Amino acid sequence: MKSDSKRPGQVCDQKSEPRAKAASAAAPDAELNWPTAATCRQLRRQVLSWFAKHRRDLPWRRTQDPYGVWVSEVMLQQTQVPTVLDYWPRFMQRFPTVQDLAQAPIEDVLRIWEGLGYYRRARQLHAAATAIVERHAGKFPTDFADVLALPGVGRYTAGAVLSISQQQSWPILEGNTLRLYSRLLGLRTDPTTSANQKILWQYAEHLVPQCRAGEFNQGLMEIGGQVCKVKEPRCATCPLRTHCAAYQQGSQDQIPAEKTRKTKWETKTEVLVLLQHRSRWLGRTIPAGQRWAGLWDFLRFDVGWLEADKGSDPKWPQSDRILQWLQQEIEREFGLQCELAAGGEPIRHGVTRFRILLAWATGRVISGRLSPTATDQGWRWLSSTELQATALNVTARKIFNQDHRARTSR
DNA sequence: AATTCGGGGTC
DNA sequence: GACCCAGAATT
């Protein structure tokens, strides 16, 4: 890491810190275990010294480059550390700088992102890189408001990137710290309500030190993830147990309180068709504005309306009846005559609001040409090489690979 | 304040 | 299947 003379000693020597106003000294709620200034100082030291000893060696912790830290933080949004482990190095190798990312076609970014989920993040990351090139001459901004203004960057991510890469003093609140703060405070009500979010952010502001805020924040998250776990928190070895209201009350299991959420699922039944013509497959990119925009997909049919058959046919939705219907549809919509065969086991795909039972079929074109209407909608024949290079919907990739393996092993 | 993003992994 | 995860944007 370079030692820039413009930032001597980093934030410690700065008089006025570009952070949010200090939280009021008084506790927002007398019921809560709001720490005194002395307790805060002790707690900070304990976090830093614990982190120095127990810090995991994660790939993105080896850089101080704000760009690299930013990429890692976006990947880690609602995504667990082990999942990101392989993605971050690949991404950084393919797009080493903001410029590389900005210049790359979005298709390439999505291909690297494939399987990570929440693809909007990849599009926003790409758009933000373009904005950084335009607005900040390609240099990642170090002003909080500028970082916050980037698409896909909220209060957490802006604070995390600037504290970790620049040691600027900003508070953070995410999954791990939400739980940790709630227990330390003894917050017994649903921590996700806006009133409690406000309290927790205030608490984070109250705790964050002027110096080494990045290490402190990472230490908090590490304690939250490795010690202050959801189930069976390791209080006996927690460096903060003496300050923890939940530990003193023995209420670790009740905190954080259950979220009041009502998940209503909608069940869908779909059939994906891997339609082959010579050595190419029929696919298209999903149009802009729609979900999964920019990702490739194969033919996909909603067969939920045929639910009536479900009870009577054990092989549903891969029954001959469905396959016949699919053949008719493909001839009608695409002008192609084909023969179809049922694929392997249907895949259950749980996503945010839908539970999809995805069956699949493979087929070959017997005769006909792709209709102009279909061509206009972006459908075209893709080679195996092209399919390797483009970003596919995850279940589509899974099915394609499975079919490919089955074919080559025969 | 609730919902979406149609994610993915883990018990 | 329920729950969690280094959340953000939209309505």
Higher pLDDT, A152 or A398: A152
pLDDT of amino acid A283: 95
Beta strands in A229-352 (DSSP E): 266-277, 280-285, 296-297, 299-302, 336-342, 347-350
The answer to whether the beta carbon of residue A80 comes closer than 7 angstroms to any atom of strand B is yes
CA of A335 to C1' of B10 (A): 45
Q: In whole angstroms, give the CA distance from residue A219 to residue A222.
A: 5
A402 — pLDDT class (breaks 50, 70, 90) = confident
Residues above pLDDT 90, as percent of chain A: 73
| A380 token code pair | 């075209």
Tell me the CATH architecture of domain A10-65+140-249: Orthogonal Bundle (1.10)
Q: Is the pLDDT of residue A230 over 50?
A: yes
Q: Spell A102-130 as b/e; 16+ CB within 10 A means b.
A: bebebebbbbbbbebbebebbbbbbebbe
Taking the C1' atom of B2, which residue's CA lies nearest? Answer: A261
| Distance in Å, residue A353 CA to nucleotide B4 C1' | 9
Q: Is the CB of A193 under 7 A from strand B?
A: yes
Quick one: tokens of A206?
């109250």
Considering all nucleic acid strands, name the nucleotide whose C1' atom is nearest to the C-alpha of residue A117: B7
Please compute the mean of the pLDDT values over residues A79-106 and round it to a whole number: 96
Asked: is A266-409 a CATH 3.30.420.40 domain? The reply is no
Report CA(A174)–C1'(C7) in Å, whole number: 7
Q: Is the pLDDT score of A123 beyond 80?
A: yes
pLDDT reading at A257 higher than 70? yes
Residues 126-165, chain A, CB closer than 7 Å to nucleic strand C: 150-158, 160
- Which is the catalytic residue, given A17, A31, A73, A307? A73
Residues of chain A with CATH 1.10.1670.10: 10-65+140-249
Q: Which nucleotides of B are covered by protein (CB under 7 A)?
A: 1-10
- The verdict on whether A73 is a catalytic residue reads yes
Average pLDDT, chain A: 88
Task: Specify the nucleotide whose C1' lies closest to residue A153 (CA).
Answer: C8
Q: Which residue is nearest to nucleotide C3 (CA to C1')?
A: A230
Amino acid at A357: L
Q: Which residues contact A192 (CB under 8 A, 6 or more apart)?
A: A178, A259
Pinpoint the residues of chain A covered by CATH 3.90.79.10: 266-409
Tokens of A297: 């997909």
Q: Å from A88 (CA) to B9 (C1')?
A: 17
Distance CA A239, CA A40 (A): 13
